[in-house]
Structure 1
């Protein structure tokens, strides 16, 4: 039996790290953490390998970690600073390894396009109820918010409202975008910048680093339109 084999569960440290990495990756995606694809993968791998290492430590070390009463956030920051310093001190060797992994220049001219495309594809495969919040069809909106179907369809044609396809041709509408029976100002500008409705709504409902962690749709509901539009155009 090696130190990489868990004597009770039989799973190897590497296998456990892989499972943990995937779990962290899914959690970051579901909570809308805005990272590019490479940073998201790195964050997931680091968290996965750190968590998977703990069960394989000697008991004395596990007890020492369990009794730690310090500030975990500061400890994590120190860890990343140490990693950065090590990478900088390695100098040309690190740079050479990075260049070997880098794609040709022609493939890197649009750094943001691939992560956004990947996110749109992932949202397309997810159930709307799992990420979009409360949504409703045209019948509910007509009965509860007194929005005529003709008006709703006109807003949809003009991209003044976020409409999410559900099933074949049916669309549902996130309720958080409506105030006093009308879509909040700025929706059309966001959809102009982020053409995919699922991706646009996903961004609108998550804390945005471009807005200091504020949630765009909440800002639109408070008439803070210009900041949101500027941030959306930055993403596009």
Structure 2
């Protein structure tokens, strides 16, 4: 065996060793533990050791090369909106707001109260209202029972910065209210439980 052959083989071993060290450095803890366990055996089983090495080599992703032709054409606002319309769909995550909403006049008539009472409840946050236009409001029908608001709505509202935020929380199943909508607990008279849950609601957002 010539000196040149020895040098070639030594270079090859060093190159393979360096590559393996790079792979080990990028390997996950699971793969490294598997390799260490195989090496710590008094007489490492060839198959086990081979699997550990292959696991490290296989899990390391190859370098990725960016491809593409750069920025596309600049679109006008109209064209951009049209293209977005073809690529997107309406988000229905706000279905909570699809609860029956009534105007002030209809709400007052259904409850059999004066419209002024409705306005007073809204200003005192005893009921929740969504603004419609500059001066008008609409009211979720579910927040009323008989001729007035559900008890405890004002205690819930004080923990939120807006009526719509409070309403979304009220109609979303909650683990602190047994996996059901908090508003249903209000209907059952569990006012203190709902108020306590609302108190910590923002801590988990």
Could you state the TM-score of these two structures normalised by the residue count of structure 1? 0.45
Could you list the runs of 4 or more consecutive aligned residues of structure 1 that deviate by over 3 angstroms after TM superposition?
Answer: 87-91
Higher relative contact order at CA 8 Å, sep ≥6: structure 1 or structure 2? Answer: 1
Q: Distance in 1 between matches of 2:114 and 2:177?
A: 34
Tell me if 1:131 matches 2:96: yes
In structure 1, list runs of 5 or more residues that go unmatched.
Answer: 1-86, 92-125
RMSD: 2.5
Seen in structure 2, the aligned counterparts of structure 1 residues 89 and 182 have a Cα distance that, compared at 3 Å, is: farther
**Could you tell me which residue of structure 2 aligns to residue 215 of structure 1?**
181
Seen in structure 2, the aligned counterparts of structure 1 residues 167 and 230 have a Cα distance that, compared at 3 Å, is: same
**Could you tell me which residue of structure 1 aligns to residue 139 of structure 2?**
173
Seen in structure 2, the aligned counterparts of structure 1 residues 231 and 145 have a Cα distance that, compared at 3 Å, is: same
Give the helix-richer structure, 1 or 2.
1
Tell me if 1:152 matches 2:112: no
Q: Distance in 2 between matches of 1:181 and 1:162?
A: 15
Give the secondary structure class of the aligned counterpart of 1:161: coil
Q: Which of 184, 191, 197 is equivalent to 2:157?
A: 191
Q: Distance in 2 between matches of 1:207 and 1:157?
A: 27
Shift of residue 89 of structure 1? Answer: 5.0
Q: Give the length in aligned residue pairs.
A: 115
Q: Which of 138, 154, 170 is equivalent to 1:204?
A: 170
**Any residues of structure 2 matched to 1:67-86 within 5 Å, and which?**
none
Q: Distance in 1 between matches of 2:185 and 2:104?
A: 25
Q: Which segment is superposed worse, 135-144 or 173-182?
A: 135-144
1:172-226 deviation digits (Å, cap 9, x = unpaired): 1101010011101110011101121111101101101222312111110111111
Structure index of larger Rg: 2
Could you state the TM-score of these two structures normalised by the residue count of structure 2? 0.51
1:71-129 deviation digits (Å, cap 9, x = unpaired): xxxxxxxxxxxxxxxx98589xxxxxxxxxxxxxxxxxxxxxxxxxxxxxxxxxx99x9
Q: Distance in 2 between matches of 1:221 and 1:157?
A: 22
In structure 2, list runs of 5 or more residues that go unmatched.
Answer: 1-27, 33-90
